[in-house]
Amino acid sequence: MKFKVTDSENISTVFLNGEIDMDIADDVREVIFPLIDSGKEVHLNLKDVQYMDSSGISVIVESSKRAKDKNTKIELKEVSQPVEKVLAMARKFL
Protein backbone atom coordinates (compact mmCIF):
# COMPACT_ATOMS: atom_id res chain seq x y z
CA MET A 1 0.00 0.00 0.00
CA LYS A 2 1.24 3.39 -0.96
CA PHE A 3 -0.36 6.68 -0.16
CA LYS A 4 0.03 10.34 -0.95
CA VAL A 5 -1.43 13.29 0.94
CA THR A 6 -2.18 16.63 -0.66
CA ASP A 7 -3.43 19.74 1.13
CA SER A 8 -5.66 22.47 -0.21
CA GLU A 9 -6.87 25.10 2.27
CA ASN A 10 -8.45 23.12 5.12
CA ILE A 11 -8.85 19.86 3.15
CA SER A 12 -6.36 17.02 3.11
CA THR A 13 -6.82 14.43 0.39
CA VAL A 14 -5.34 11.00 1.03
CA PHE A 15 -4.75 9.01 -2.15
CA LEU A 16 -4.66 5.30 -1.30
CA ASN A 17 -3.84 2.43 -3.61
CA GLY A 18 -3.39 -1.31 -3.52
CA GLU A 19 -5.21 -3.25 -0.83
CA ILE A 20 -6.70 -2.15 2.47
CA ASP A 21 -6.78 -5.23 4.66
CA MET A 22 -5.88 -6.18 8.21
CA ASP A 23 -2.16 -6.08 7.43
CA ILE A 24 -2.30 -2.41 6.41
CA ALA A 25 -5.29 -1.01 8.34
CA ASP A 26 -3.18 0.35 11.21
CA ASP A 27 -0.88 2.13 8.75
CA VAL A 28 -3.89 3.78 7.13
CA ARG A 29 -5.18 4.89 10.54
CA GLU A 30 -1.76 6.41 11.30
CA VAL A 31 -2.11 8.56 8.19
CA ILE A 32 -5.77 9.56 8.53
CA PHE A 33 -6.28 10.05 12.27
CA PRO A 34 -3.69 12.85 12.77
CA LEU A 35 -5.25 14.77 9.88
CA ILE A 36 -8.69 14.47 11.47
CA ASP A 37 -7.28 15.35 14.89
CA SER A 38 -5.83 18.55 13.43
CA GLY A 39 -9.38 19.59 12.48
CA LYS A 40 -8.96 19.22 8.77
CA GLU A 41 -11.62 17.86 6.47
CA VAL A 42 -10.27 14.63 5.00
CA HIS A 43 -11.04 13.22 1.58
CA LEU A 44 -10.11 9.59 0.92
CA ASN A 45 -9.47 8.98 -2.75
CA LEU A 46 -10.03 5.27 -3.35
CA LYS A 47 -9.84 5.09 -7.14
CA ASP A 48 -6.67 2.96 -7.05
CA VAL A 49 -7.71 0.58 -4.23
CA GLN A 50 -8.26 -2.86 -5.75
CA TYR A 51 -9.31 -4.67 -2.57
CA MET A 52 -10.80 -3.82 0.80
CA ASP A 53 -11.82 -6.22 3.55
CA SER A 54 -13.69 -5.61 6.81
CA SER A 55 -10.58 -4.00 8.29
CA GLY A 56 -10.78 -1.31 5.63
CA ILE A 57 -14.45 -0.76 6.36
CA SER A 58 -13.53 -0.46 10.03
CA VAL A 59 -10.98 2.25 9.21
CA ILE A 60 -13.64 4.22 7.33
CA VAL A 61 -16.23 3.86 10.12
CA GLU A 62 -13.70 4.78 12.84
CA SER A 63 -12.50 7.75 10.79
CA SER A 64 -16.05 8.95 10.31
CA LYS A 65 -16.80 8.73 14.03
CA ARG A 66 -13.55 10.49 14.90
CA ALA A 67 -14.26 13.27 12.40
CA LYS A 68 -17.73 13.77 13.88
CA ASP A 69 -16.20 14.01 17.38
CA LYS A 70 -13.75 16.64 16.09
CA ASN A 71 -16.50 18.62 14.30
CA THR A 72 -15.04 17.99 10.88
CA LYS A 73 -15.85 15.48 8.17
CA ILE A 74 -14.44 12.75 6.01
CA GLU A 75 -15.55 12.02 2.46
CA LEU A 76 -14.89 9.14 0.10
CA LYS A 77 -13.86 10.21 -3.40
CA GLU A 78 -13.57 8.29 -6.66
CA VAL A 79 -14.37 4.92 -5.10
CA SER A 80 -13.15 2.02 -7.23
CA GLN A 81 -15.64 -0.61 -8.36
CA PRO A 82 -14.25 -3.39 -6.12
CA VAL A 83 -14.42 -1.14 -3.06
CA GLU A 84 -17.90 0.09 -3.98
CA LYS A 85 -19.10 -3.52 -4.01
CA VAL A 86 -17.72 -4.12 -0.51
CA LEU A 87 -19.22 -0.88 0.79
CA ALA A 88 -22.59 -1.70 -0.77
CA MET A 89 -22.62 -5.05 1.03
CA ALA A 90 -21.66 -3.38 4.30
CA ARG A 91 -24.45 -0.80 3.95
CA LYS A 92 -26.98 -3.62 4.00
CA PHE A 93 -25.91 -4.46 7.55
CA LEU A 94 -25.50 -0.93 8.92
Q: How does DSSP assign 6-64, residue by residue?
A: EEETTEEEEEEEEEESTTTHHHHHHHHHHHHHTT-EEEEEEEEEEEE-HHHHHHHHHHH
Q: Write down the pTM of the prediction.
A: 0.89
CATH class as words, domain 2-91: alpha beta
pLDDT means per 10 residues, the chain with 94 residues, are 88 95 94 95 96 93 95 96 90 73
Report how far residue 47's alpha carbon sits from residue 42's, in angstroms, rounded to the nearest whole number: 15
Single-letter residue type at 9: E
Q: So what's the pLDDT on residue 63?
A: 96
* Domains in the chain: boundaries: 2-91
Q: So what's the pLDDT on residue 91?
A: 80
Q: Which residues pair with 42 in a beta bridge?
A: 12, 74
Q: So what's the pLDDT on residue 94?
A: 63
